Structure 1
Amino acid sequence: MTFAAIQFPQIDPIIFSVGPVALRWYGLMYLIGFIFAMVYANKAADKSNGVWSRDQVSDLLFYGFLGVIVGGRVGYVLFYNFDYFLSDPLYLFKIWTGGMSFHGGLLGVLTAILLFARKEKKSFLQVGDFVAPLVPFGLGAGRVGNFINAELWGRETDVSWAMVFPSDPLGLARHPSQLYEFFLEGVVLFFMVYFVNKHTKATGVAGGTFLAGYGAFRFIVEFFREPDAHLGFIFSFISMGQILSLPMVIGGLALIIWGLNQHSNETSNKQTKGAH
């Protein structure tokens, strides 16, 4: 039986253009993710009994947007192209050449959350729990954008759903790892965080679930994703993405345990006071 890979569908990355201005599917995916975050956050604020306001949501999203852009670019340059940066420091500002890192974007968002929390006199973990359900949808949309752009494809395989991407100079049948990430980091992770956020009042658990969940899913998908050509594997079969994801799993699990213990202690103290 002859193995026949699926040919990547012919998708123009540009939806339409007017003169030099073009609307790309990749940009549209991120716009959809941002709109979802705004709608979801505003609804959550409306149900918060005054803990959150729509004005605070607008400020938080603005802080978060800057964190994603600045952190994502700086992270990509430092984690994945540091040697190039040393030879050309201005490369950091050449955003039009492409290159963003999720892990760098995460650090940028965490910094934004810290600054916002101080400004609004909220706890860092409280803001983190509020932000956690807003992120997976945008991640999933971004992975769809990667798929449409035929970039960040997977390793060679002979599974029945293997695809040949036009951007692959070798023309190999590969895992459509962008779609794996869309499903795990976007769909599954969203429902995990949503469920936790809805069924526990323990501070830090929703944020910890996001960190541990994303880190675990990214670590798994990296086994199917082609490593960056200029980096390859860092240790044996371990990629840079896995190295950066492992601390997220450890930190997320630690935060979940800490949050549940804190909530349990607070509940026990309240019950003890009530008994007196």
Structure 2
Amino acid sequence: MTRSMTAFARQESQQSWGTLTWEVRSVNHRFLEPHLRIPESLKELEGALREGLRKCLSRGKVECTLRFVPEEQTQTLQVNEAFARQLLAATEQMEKLLPVSQTLNPLDLLRWPGVLQDIPMDMSAVKNEALQLFNRALDDLQAGREREGKELALLIEQRLDAISFVVQDVREKMPLILQNQRSMLRSRVADLGVDLEPQRLEQEVVLLAQKADVDEEMDRLDTHVQEVRRILKQKEPVGRRLDFLMQELNREANTLSSKSIVTDTTKSAVELKVLIEQMREQIQNIE
């Protein structure tokens, strides 16, 4: 199946412990080039994320951004009772040294560094949800790449139809073109008043026909068009194969142009090159 390398996906999950948001975007690239932006608290997921990308995608520059916003109630505080008792004991010793007895305010005690501690959040649930959400985002990304790939395949099929039409048109015109060139050659010889042997004149006509013979190029163009159609139906990534075939199609179009002896075939060669270039531009976005 033809898949584009350009797509965007966004997935969000709201849980009791907070909100996770994945944004995944991909553009065309010669190889698979992932870029991950994830919070430090979830950095250990990077290996699994990269493995998931390698299994799902083969080409493209892929930017993956994860945002994690924890809920406020999850950031609870806990009193370090052991440390607080040590502070109280130290305070009682200090009271004995002071000339006037003072009572310690509990709020002052809580302000002391280390008395209040943040209870660390259990990140296991967050990590599991982040991985599942990432897989859903990749599914959406693939679906988007497939939808755009279908549109690209239709555009390429239209150009292939146009190429086949041009090739068929050249095939039908070549006998008449050669006949006209043969008549033109004989007319020029007659106008010059040169007395050529019929055999010699026929040899020149044969040489002209051989120079203008493009049957082989037309056959190869037809073969390449059929191969492109076949590759477009395959399920595996096909971008590189299609790119190679565009080079081969362009080569045959150049040969047709170099063998042209009339403006009609020259125009046909130019039209072929335009169609091939249009396909090549689209194929640059195919995985």
Between Structure 1 and Structure 2, whose CA radius of gyration is higher? 2
TM-score (norm 2): 0.30
Relative contact order (alpha carbons < 8 A, sep ≥ 6): 1 or 2 greater?
2
Greater strand content:
2
TM-score (norm 1): 0.31
